[in-house]
Amino acid sequence: MAGRKRKTPKWVDGKPSFDDMPVHYQVEQAMLAERLLAGLEEGRLTLNEPRQHAAARTALRALLAAEHAEHERPVAEWVDAQLNAASRTKLLGALRQERFRASRGIRQVALKPSEFQQLQILRERAEQRRRAPLSAPDRAMLRELGAILPPHLTEVVSVPLYSHTVPAGQPAPADDDIEDLIDLNDYLMPRRDASFLVRVKGESMVDAGIRDGDLLVVDRSRPPVDGKIVVAALDGELTVKRLSTRHGRVQLLPANPAFAPIDIDEGCELMIWGVVRNVIHSL
């Protein structure tokens, strides 16, 4: 199976349980097959062997027509064997977001870009008013997307803050006058219960001081207004960009001229997870 070990479900009370398996093993297999066929025909999904699209569609239709045992997930196994890594990641991310929305009773509707923008902003503002610590579903979703969730720290990590600034030119005499003690937890992450970390991959935000390998402290308690740098799940993958809600449209803007802005319309799966509060990088 193309380098992937065959997955088998656990048995609970005499029935197969797929709860601990990837999301494409949990969904209804006929629906998954229909989705895959549409994605291949529209060119949104690609295979490990791109020249085998016709044969792949034939195989999927055969799986769709056949009867399978309760513990079998042949379409999910087909995904693991045939889809390339990028398409598989995109598919699983979209499935996870759909399950997440369904668990919260969020319905997906087709909207014009301006309507989509207004709904997104109103929803985010409404959530900000009642947003408390990250819920268990939120934390599970963020872990699946690759975020780093801080533990509920109780120990204060304090370091002295000296009253003198440090000149970048000529050296100045050291001073023993301590102005204050800073708790690094509170300084970097004042809302730990509503914050998480992500590690940056790529160079699209270098002009904003965000480099490849940096850690971002993301705060869900801050409203994602125009001009803020946000971390969002776009089509199932986390990305960091500057949010723009001007001129009647929503965009995610890079801070590097080598990258193009991302236009958000009704065809995009977008969820804004929070606003970047601090950037941590090593020298």
pLDDT tens digits, 186-195: 788 888 778 8
117-146 residue pLDDT tens: 555 555 565 555 445 566 677 667 667 666
- Report the distance separating Cα 74 and Cα 151, nearest Å: 38
φ/ψ region of 242 (left if φ > 0, alpha if ψ in -120 to 50, else beta) reads beta
Question: Can you give the pLDDT at residue 27?
Answer: 84
Of 204, 187, 212, nearest to 278 by C-alpha is 187
What mean pLDDT, rounded, does the chain reach?
75
- Report the distance separating Cα 185 and Cα 154, nearest Å: 10
The residue count for the chain: 283
**Backbone dihedral angles phi then psi of residue 23, each to the nearest 5 degrees:** -60, -30
- Report the distance separating Cα 22 and Cα 83, nearest Å: 15
Residue 61: pLDDT over 60: yes
- Residues 76, 29: contact at Cβ < 8 Å? yes
Please list, residue by residue across 87-97, b when 16 or more beta carbons sit within 10 angstroms of its beta carbon and e when fewer do: bbebbbbbbbb
- Report the distance separating Cα 6 and Cα 113, nearest Å: 42
Token couple for 10: 């656990």
Positions marked catalytic: 204, 241
178-211 residue pLDDT tens: 555 667 777 888 887 788 888 898 899 999 999 9
Give bridge partners of residue 279 from the DSSP assignment.
216
Residue 278: pLDDT over 80: yes
- Report the distance separating Cα 190 and Cα 276, nearest Å: 13
Question: Can you give the pLDDT at residue 3?
Answer: 43
User: Of the ranges 4-18, 45-59, 166-180, 232-246, which one carries the lowest mean pLDDT score?
Assistant: 166-180
Q: Which residue has the tokens 């990641």?
A: 89
Q: What is the DSSP letter of 104?
A: T
Question: Can you give the pLDDT at residue 204?
Answer: 93
Q: What is the model's pTM?
A: 0.49
Question: Can you give the pLDDT at residue 105?
Answer: 53
Residue 168: pLDDT over 80: no
13-25 residue pLDDT tens: 777 677 777 878 8
Give bridge partners of residue 161 from the DSSP assignment.
180
Residue 229: pLDDT over 90: yes
Question: Can you give the pLDDT at residue 155?
Answer: 47
More confident position, 262 or 15: 262
**Backbone dihedral angles phi then psi of residue 24, each to the nearest 5 degrees:** -75, -10
Question: Can you give the pLDDT at residue 110?
Answer: 46
Q: What is the mean pLDDT of residues 97-115?
A: 56
Question: Can you give the pLDDT at residue 159?
Answer: 52
- Residues 203, 211: contact at Cβ < 8 Å? yes
φ/ψ region of 13 (left if φ > 0, alpha if ψ in -120 to 50, else beta) reads left
Q: What is the mean pLDDT of residues 29-34?
A: 88
The sheet that has 195-199: what strands, in order across it?
195-199, 215-219, 270-280, 229-234, 237-244, 250-253, 262-264
Q: What is the mean pLDDT of residues 159-174?
A: 50
